Structure 1
Amino acid sequence: MANVLQELLAAGLIDKLEGSDERFKKMTQAADGLAKEFRSSPALLIPAILTALGGDIATDDPLIEMAETALLAEWETLQSVHTDKPIQIYRALLLTACAAVAQERNAAILWLTATDMLQFSQLGREKSAVFKLISLFGDATEQQDISLFAPSTKTARKSTDLPKLDFKEVTFAEVDRNALFGEIGTATGPTNLQNVQYIPGKTHNRYWANQNPQHWGEDFANVMKDVLGDRFDGLGEACADELNGICEALVTAFKAQSQGLQSSISLAQSVSTREQVRLDALWWYESMYSASAKMSYREMDPLAAAILMPLDLISIMPSVTPSSVAYLLSEAVARLPNAGFENVLTLKDVLARVASLRQVIPDSRMEGFNPPTRAGRLSLRDIVRLALEDPSASASDLLHRARVPEDATISLPLLARALLRQEQAIRLAEVTK
């Protein structure tokens, strides 16, 4: 985490540090506090990275205020040093916290949200460091794709070795016949032939058999029950020890076998999923057919198709897909009439036209394509969704909320790619709640 903060410091995003290690330490601690919040609530990563990328972000942005709260908790005299709200420091803290939690799905959420917003973010001296960081998020996401869809050859070919069952020969100690003789003797009478107790101090039969058979039998039974009971208990314990050893060995072996079987099943499912993703994506690309709209994308307004195509594609894909899927989408959109990469439109015009396309997008796709409910900077996906929701929404206002210049341009293939990625990020964040 400190390395990211150091890079942003070197890039000039942090000022008035004046060589103070103590101030830098407070910032590191504040970023650590933000990272803990992001780990517990991954949905915060989306507004966090959008805000961090905004060079002209609003001072009352919710994530800026969250970063301010985190830093004030560590640096109570902050406002005496920074009389104006240090927005750039707060952006640095957000970027650092995002980097700290950029593992597995979190990395995918960050990259999918950020990568298509970079061209619209007004970055300054920190541009190189920010681009490098987003690239690292992308690398982590791609590695996740590899683990999900492309198991290594070594893993696929390696057999599972089960633990060998080391069953030793079951043996029991020989019975001490002398001891057993004495124990039985205590049940037969008060003394032995030498007129001494069989086992000194141990309870003996108080009678001789010829004196009072009834009383003798009572004592005999009482003494013998303990003699036999102790012997049987010892034999049972010895058997139990042997059986427990066998059971433990079996449990270990069966557990290893179960894990090996589960690993094989997971590997087979991973290979199957990878091939199914390719097959489904290729079939969708070649057919150019919308299962939700029950018509060809070529029969639609190209802008409507560019919005619907990523939603249709998401519905047949797993939550995390290889990066190539987004590029396959953009190539599919480019096959539409007058929708190639070279046909550039202003985002302002795109948003103005989107409002009239609501009826074209099937309700089944709109149900999962939820409008944003948060304040702060919005993504391209968010402003397109709001334009669909409210025909009276001002394109200029939507662009302002996304911190995108009014003269910004984009092609339909790139718009569709951004919608796909940013919608995937939202759905991933919902899964991790």
Structure 2
Amino acid sequence: MRFLEMGAINLNSDDSKLEKLRITAKDLSAALRKAPAKTANFTMVAADPSVPPGDPVLEEAMTALRKRWETVANAFAGRPVTVLRAVLLDAIVQASREDDAIAVAFVNTARNALAHAETVDEAPIWREAVSEIETKVDARAEAEWATPEMISVEPLNYTPPAQSKVEFEPPVVDRPTLKVQVHSAAGPWGANKPNQHQPQSNPQAWTQEFANKMSDAIADTLDAMAEELVPAMVDLSAPLTSLAKAVTAHVEAALASFSGATAGLQRRTNLLWWKEALYSPSAHESYLEMPVFQASALMALDLHEQVPTYSPASVSAFLKEAIRCLPTEPESQGSGQRDLSTLVQDAKTAAFMQPFRSLAAQYVPAPAGRGPLLSLIGHAQEPAAAGATSLRALGGVDASATMTPAEWGTFLFRELQAARATSANAGKRTKRT
């Protein structure tokens, strides 16, 4: 609708044609969600009015449009590039609203592509689209980077085992037996080891024997009762093990909450240290000791490996300011600029860019139509990547265009972020040493 309102496309006030374009945009959006790696290609084609009509992305869009509008070839003189670009932009925005990874790739790619595309008339449309999706990306990124004022930890989750009922019968004195023993202790008439003395004949001997036998009788009775009162052994290993596991899980959850809550703060602190030190953790060398354009490219790679895919837009600005801390090379053009043809050629061949080339080759396929510079850099041996003409045809930038070190580093960083967000190989990449 915005393209229609500004007069970039003309459907002769035919609502049925507009509906066909809308349905095609939904079809392409669904196709993009199934193949997120195409986000950069879709975005770069949509952003460039001078994209070649035979570009593979335009071919795909035209095929989708024919399915919904069989007579589209008769409605326009030649390939309707502007119409297809409008449909592509609509499709990308729809997909970005549904998929955060596509949103990241779209925003980073659009920021780069629009700086080198002649879209002055379309600038308000693109500004609105990029702003909407960038706000969405920043909201997620800020949530991951934020440090909360308080950390909440759930209460200890432990349920003690159910108490088992113990059957207990109090011991009872065996009175008949005790009575027999007492009777035997009283004199020689007892049946169970009687007292051989009688109290009237030998009181002293009888008393001594009576005391001994009564003591034994009472002691035996009490010992028997004490044996019955001995508690059964209780196995506490199971409940104690369960308690230990619950405490361990609780402590681990608390530490995870603390770690997650402070991750954003730690990340920001590390980045500030990196910016102030201006030291490459991968090259083990100060950026100040490198040529400035080499340092800017390496800083883009190092920062990319320090931050997650979902990062605020301010991270790109942070990188630009960090690169501006580097001294300007006296031999660079004008006010510290260098043409893109030279920059891309150095990226393809320089030894220090080998880690960058390896990563680019993992992130993006070989160049086939409009796509990121990573494709040309990572697949430098491909015939299509050779020559300055490939920069405009495949990369969407003029070979004679110039960039400052800060612009070059930021451009590469955005391409890396966009590629990682939608690359199927991003999770399989091994960390550089």
Measured against the shorter chain, the TM-score band is 0.5 to 0.7
CA distance in 2, matches of 1:282, 1:101: 34
The amino acid across from 2:14 in the alignment is S
Q: Does 1:359 find its partner at 2:354?
A: no
CA distance in 2, matches of 1:128, 1:27: 21
Q: Does 1:123 find its partner at 2:115?
A: no
Match of 2:130 in 1: 134
CA distance in 1, matches of 2:137, 2:400: 31
CA distance in 2, matches of 1:129, 1:263: 46
Instruction: Give the TM-score taking structure 2 as reference length.
Output: 0.68
Relative distance call for 1:269 and 1:35 in structure 2 (3 A) is farther
The amino acid across from 2:19 in the alignment is K
Q: CA deviation at 1:368?
A: 1.8
Relative distance call for 1:130 and 1:324 in structure 2 (3 A) is closer
Q: Any idea what SS the aligned residue of 1:101 has? A: helix
Q: Does 1:369 find its partner at 2:360?
A: yes
Q: Which of these residues, 142, 146, 152, is aligned with residue 150 of structure 1?
A: 146
CA RMSD, 1 decimal: 3.3
Relative distance call for 1:35 and 1:161 in structure 2 (3 A) is farther
Match of 1:13 in 2: 8
Relative distance call for 1:141 and 1:287 in structure 2 (3 A) is same
CA distance in 2, matches of 1:72, 1:162: 61
The amino acid across from 1:13 in the alignment is A
The amino acid across from 1:337 in the alignment is P
Match of 2:28 in 1: 34
Match of 1:338 in 2: 328
After superposition, the C-alpha distances for 1:269-321 in whole angstroms (9 at most, x for unaligned) are 43222022112212221222222222212222222212111112222222222
Relative distance call for 1:32 and 1:265 in structure 2 (3 A) is farther
The amino acid across from 1:106 in the alignment is I
Relative distance call for 1:337 and 1:159 in structure 2 (3 A) is closer
* Percent of matched pairs sharing the same residue: 26
Mapping of residues 19-168 of structure 1, within 5 Å: 19-103=13-97, 104-150=100-146, 156=150
Q: Which runs of 5 or more residues in structure 1 are unaligned?
A: 1-5, 166-259
Q: CA deviation at 1:378?
A: 2.6
Match of 1:271 in 2: 261
CA distance in 2, matches of 1:320, 1:64: 29
CA distance in 2, matches of 1:147, 1:261: 24
Q: CA deviation at 1:97?
A: 0.3
8 Å Cα contact 1:333-1:412 kept in structure 2: yes
Q: After superposing the two structures, state which structure 1 stretch, 138-147 or 85-94, moved more.
A: 138-147
Match of 1:347 in 2: 340
8 Å Cα contact 1:53-1:121 kept in structure 2: yes
Q: Any idea what SS the aligned residue of 1:336 has? A: coil
Match of 1:238 in 2: none
Q: Any idea what SS the aligned residue of 2:338 has? A: strand
CA distance in 1, matches of 2:381, 2:325: 24
CA distance in 1, matches of 2:393, 2:8: 23
Q: CA deviation at 1:382?
A: 3.9
Relative distance call for 1:406 and 1:358 in structure 2 (3 A) is closer
Instruction: Give the TM-score taking structure 1 as reference length.
Output: 0.68
CA distance in 1, matches of 2:55, 2:397: 15
After superposition, the C-alpha distances for 1:332-353 in whole angstroms (9 at most, x for unaligned) are 2222221699523322343344
Relative distance call for 1:382 and 1:162 in structure 2 (3 A) is same
After superposition, the C-alpha distances for 1:372-427 in whole angstroms (9 at most, x for unaligned) are 4141213344445456989x932343234223234422111111011111111101
The amino acid across from 1:376 in the alignment is G
Match of 1:179 in 2: none
Q: State the aligned residue count.
A: 329
8 Å Cα contact 2:366-2:382 kept in structure 1: no
Q: Does 1:297 find its partner at 2:290?
A: no
Q: Which of these residues, 388, 399, 409, is aligned with residue 392 of structure 2?
A: 399
Q: CA deviation at 1:159?
A: 7.8
Mapping of residues 125-274 of structure 1, within 5 Å: 125-150=121-146, 156=150, 268-274=258-264
Relative distance call for 1:157 and 1:315 in structure 2 (3 A) is closer
Q: Any idea what SS the aligned residue of 2:360 has? A: coil
CA distance in 1, matches of 2:38, 2:133: 16
8 Å Cα contact 1:42-1:106 kept in structure 2: yes
The amino acid across from 1:417 in the alignment is T
After superposition, the C-alpha distances for 1:96-135 in whole angstroms (9 at most, x for unaligned) are 0011011322211110111122110111522221222122
Q: Which structure's CA Rg is the greater one?
A: 2
CA distance in 1, matches of 2:397, 2:335: 21
CA distance in 1, matches of 2:112, 2:313: 13
CA distance in 1, matches of 2:60, 2:259: 42
Q: CA deviation at 1:327?
A: 2.0
After superposition, the C-alpha distances for 1:126-165 in whole angstroms (9 at most, x for unaligned) are 2221222122222111112112112666xx57787999x9
After superposition, the C-alpha distances for 1:18-37 in whole angstroms (9 at most, x for unaligned) are 11111111111110000111
Match of 1:209 in 2: none
CA distance in 2, matches of 1:99, 1:308: 31
8 Å Cα contact 1:352-1:395 kept in structure 2: no
Q: Any idea what SS the aligned residue of 2:131 has? A: helix
Q: Does 1:323 find its partner at 2:313?
A: yes
The amino acid across from 2:135 in the alignment is D
Q: CA deviation at 1:64?
A: 0.6
Q: Which of these residues, 255, 278, 281, is aligned with residue 271 of structure 2?
A: 281
